Chain A
Amino acid sequence: MKTPLIAAVSGTLISLLATGAQAATYAIDPTHTFVVFEIDHFGTSTNRGRFDKKEGTVAFDRAAKTGKVEITIDTTSVNTGTAPFDQHLKSDEILKTGTFPTAKFVGDKFKFNGDKVTEVAGTLTLLGKTNPVTLKAGKFNCYMNPLLKREVCGGDFETTITRSQYGVSYGLDWGFPDAMKLIVQIEAVKQ
């Protein structure tokens, strides 16, 4: 019994040494992580909304250039500033939050430029339907947060989804576009 345990421990040590101990787990900082969507309004202006509740984790290894991110979004927390618009978004005509209270992004294909993440590809599950999405980084950085006294990594990411792929076709007939831009702010604290 002793031998396998020692082997397992030393195996872990070796892999830690091999990666320069850079593989780390980060917890999503919900105060600096938001998903904002933008969608055209009658060809005139842009409607914006935000999902306020979310949680998740990020593990990434700057040396090995790998990572995994999982973010769960509470779709009932949609917030446009206009209560009737929020109610409509939550209704069975659009997000169906009664049946599908969460959406989930799982990203496991990280692209790097040096030690900066440039792209995270994975899947988005929304209204029970899963489709591939790629989040492109507008910027990415890691810094030592003086209040938390821990390393924080994060950035700005964007993607455009086709909402009909998730079964959201409300208003398409009147010219509301199918393409919807998602703008993601994310920061995660090293654990």
Chain B
Amino acid sequence: MRCMAGIFLGAWLGTAIGQPVTYQLDPAHSWVHFEVEHFATSTLRGRIGPVRGEVVWDSRAGRGEVGLTIPTASVDTGLKILDTRLRSAELLDSAAFPDAWFVATVFRHDPARPVITAVRGEFTLHGVSQPLELTAERFGCRRPADGSPEVCGGDFVAELKRSDFGITFGLPFVADRVVLRVQVEGIARR
């Protein structure tokens, strides 16, 4: 009972005080998955990460700040030759651009609940910065039963044209449109 009371009190305090909370990304559950069409036939997928960084979020005020670093050399498609090609100067050029970044300060919220629905900011990839909006397919927070800090996260999706970032190798056989599916979970810093 004391444990339950603690959870409710904590949730109530979190909402009532409405202070910004800093969430550190959990490397086991923070990945960028990309999808790109191959010869207009099937979808080629890969994973980059874990994503590093933090999110500051004031759920009451509906404001926040995101700063994420994505190590491009970590790209993993399940195919070593393709990974090597992706890291090469023809594509991600990981030697020259070892990190991609996403920084954002525009948060959209569900008007009825303290839930993030989208985050708009700037994505820097291959040395080129472009606006990018990540839309939440779902978002939620949980307070683990063992009393460890609150975890917030979700699944976000975004689309970009790789040519906008100067990555044109393999066009048009490998499509220009890239879908990013981002899994993210952040642990509240105490």
**Interface on A for B, CB 8 Å cutoff?**
31-32, 34, 36, 41-48, 50, 52, 79, 81-82, 84-85, 139-143, 145-146, 152-156, 185-187
Interface of A is mostly: strand
B28, A85: Cβ atoms under 8 Å?
A: yes
B137's closest neighbor in chain A, by CB? A46
Given that A79-B76, A154-B41, A186-B42 are known contacts, is A48 also in contact with B31, CB under 8 Å in the complex?
yes
A44, B76: Cβ atoms under 8 Å?
A: no
B183, A45: Cβ atoms under 8 Å?
A: yes
Q: Which residue of the partner chain, among B41, B47, B151, B183, contacts A187 with CB atoms under 8 Å?
A: B41
Q: Which residue of the partner chain, among A32, A81, A153, contacts B31 with CB atoms under 8 Å?
A: A81
A46's closest neighbor in chain B, by CB? B155
A185, B50: Cβ atoms under 8 Å?
A: no
Q: Does B39 contact A (CB under 8 A)?
A: yes
Q: Which residue of the partner chain, among B38, B43, B47, B153, contacts A44 with CB atoms under 8 Å?
A: B153
- In angstroms, Cα B39 to Cα A32, docked, is 11
- In angstroms, Cα B49 to Cα A156, docked, is 24
Q: What are the residues of chain B within 8 A of A155 when measuring CB–CB?
A: 41-42
8 Å CB interface, B155-190 against A: 155, 173, 181, 183-185
Measured CB to CB, the closest approach of chain A to B80, in angstroms, equals 10
B49's closest neighbor in chain A, by CB? A81
Measured CB to CB, the closest approach of chain A to B112, in angstroms, equals 18
Extra contacts, 17 of them, besides A32-B44, A41-B185, A79-B78 (Cβ < 8 A), are A31-B81, A44-B142, A44-B152, A44-B153, A45-B138, A45-B184, A45-B185, A52-B78, A81-B31, A81-B49, A82-B28, A82-B50, A141-B39, A141-B40, A145-B39, A156-B42, A185-B42
Q: Which residue of the partner chain, among A43, A154, A156, A187, contacts B142 with CB atoms under 8 Å?
A: A43
Measured CB to CB, the closest approach of chain B to A86, in angstroms, equals 11
B76's closest neighbor in chain A, by CB? A81
- In angstroms, Cα B33 to Cα A41, docked, is 16
**Interface on B for A, CB 8 Å cutoff?**
27-29, 31, 33, 38-45, 47, 49-50, 76, 78-79, 81-82, 138, 140-142, 151-155, 173, 181, 183-185
- In angstroms, Cα B40 to Cα A171, docked, is 38
Given that A44-B151, A145-B39, A185-B43 are known contacts, is A50 also in contact with B78, CB under 8 Å in the complex?
yes
Q: What are the residues of chain B within 8 A of A44 when measuring CB–CB?
A: 138, 140-142, 151-154, 185
Measured CB to CB, the closest approach of chain A to B77, in angstroms, equals 8
- In angstroms, Cα B42 to Cα A79, docked, is 21
A32, B38: Cβ atoms under 8 Å?
A: yes
Given that A50-B78, A79-B78 are known contacts, is A45 also in contact with B153, CB under 8 Å in the complex?
yes
- In angstroms, Cα B50 to Cα A156, docked, is 26
A43, B140: Cβ atoms under 8 Å?
A: yes
- In angstroms, Cα B44 to Cα A143, docked, is 16
The 8 closest A-B pairs by CB, nearest first: A141-B41, A52-B78, A154-B42, A45-B153, A185-B42, A45-B183, A44-B153, A44-B140
Measured CB to CB, the closest approach of chain A to B176, in angstroms, equals 17
A48, B47: Cβ atoms under 8 Å?
A: yes
- In angstroms, Cα B43 to Cα A82, docked, is 23
Q: Which residue of the partner chain, among B49, B82, B155, contacts A31 with CB atoms under 8 Å?
A: B82
